[in-house]
Structure 1
Amino acid sequence: MRTLPARRLAAVALTAAASVVALAGPAFAHVTVNPGSAAQGGYTAVDFRVPNESDTASTVKLEVNLPLDHPLASVRTLPMPGWTAAVEKAKLDKPIKVHGSDVTEAVAKITWTADAGVKVAPGQFQEFRVSLGPLPTDADSMAFKALQTYDNGDVVRWIDESKDGQPEPAHPAPVLKLTKATAGDAHGATATASPAAGAHGDSSDHAAASDGDKTSSDSTARTLGVVGIVVGVIGTAVGIAGLRRKSGSAS
């Protein structure tokens, strides 16, 4: 009879561990930029990684807004079978200099729309690749506000900006961190490629591509934190159960 409380305690601990994982799960499913960082002043290629978070609906459209406070002269989308990319440009209030020439407009928005019969189904994700540059030299990050549309009409707005010292918002905007260029970077670029690699929205003869595909360090840290919590809960339950068994045997 003395073993029943220990079993119940173990069951409660396992339930608590499962709850921790369930609560932490949605934090891993944000729309993100991968890789999550690039060198200031250079050209790079990034993937906007879009997980399908619904159990009953599929993703059929992604809209990504590019910040015009730090306009990018060269923006190209990688052709992707089954999806159509539309690029919208906007006039700049103040022209920017790129390789000695004035650039008066920049890409403000990219919209990917799925063709008939194409979708990102539940349990799947899709990556939308873009080459960008030159990246600003006077900023340490760029936020790309995104809208994810499902085939049932639901729209998830990934537009909230994270702030230091505060909890992560429910729907954070994808962020590309910008690091100081090093001597090893070619013209401050993280990677370079032939202009033929891109297909849409370019306003310069320069483009870039990167083979790196890294998961953000924030996601990794959250994963390790969840694993630590689960292991701690289970370990505590096992320890207490052992003590109860020893106590029962001694009495």
Structure 2
Amino acid sequence: MSEQQESVVALYDPGEIGREEHNRADRFVIGVGNIVAWLFPILVVAICAQVVLRSAGHNQAWLDDLQWWLYGIAVLTGVAYAVTTNSHVRVDILFDNYSPERKARIDIFGLVWLFLPFVILCWDMTLHYAISSVSAWERSDSPNGLHNLWILKILMNLCFILMGVAAWAAYVRLLRRLTRPARWRRLLYAFPSTMYLVNLAVYYALWWGTRLSLPVEVDDREVTKQPIFGTWDVGSQEIPFTILISLALTLLLIGVFWLRDRASGE
């Protein structure tokens, strides 16, 4: 596809640009994005209807809630779509003049050293929001608003999973332009994201293991006061044991995949 053709295609379907490089995860994100994009016409109708009804003295709180629901889900999904299609806004004057290899390196750094750790953090935070919302059976503040607010909280959490899938798929695709994306390379070159995920898995595994080993009457806040959640003092620094365990497991995981990939000739 020529540069002129890409410019035309980008106006009506960015998901078709670079399709030959896309993997299954890329196509999944694009498919979800294309479906969710239909929420925007519904959002426009909801906004216009609320403006007319409010002007006529018939304010509908559920329409206000609906706007937030639609806008939130559509925008969060749009972030994942933009990452996959590289259709986000770049505020720089240097990137366009770089070589394809340098562009790939910059994008890889941005994706798995900056963006993906942030996405994982947001996923972890919204997971707690979703669980709390479901536990409290959270409802709208308005009597005639949209209730079952926990549905929105769950969808927000799922959107961050979609962003993570989009970021990782784009990272693997970019890595393929530079080298063979063996599994150990994927994990090593994305070390901050890899270790962050391992750390979350370690923390939750230890938390639940400790929680289940304690008497039922013990408060949940006492779990993190157990020795396994202590710290190792290095000079003036305190390094949590969970971080040290996660670091060791991350390096072990990369080493195992290095041996397996080496044995398979990758």
Q: What range is the shorter-chain TM-score in?
A: under 0.3
Please give the TM-score of this superposition, normalised by the length of structure 1.
Answer: 0.22
Please give the TM-score of this superposition, normalised by the length of structure 2.
Answer: 0.21
Structure number with higher strand proportion: 1
Structure number with higher helix proportion: 2
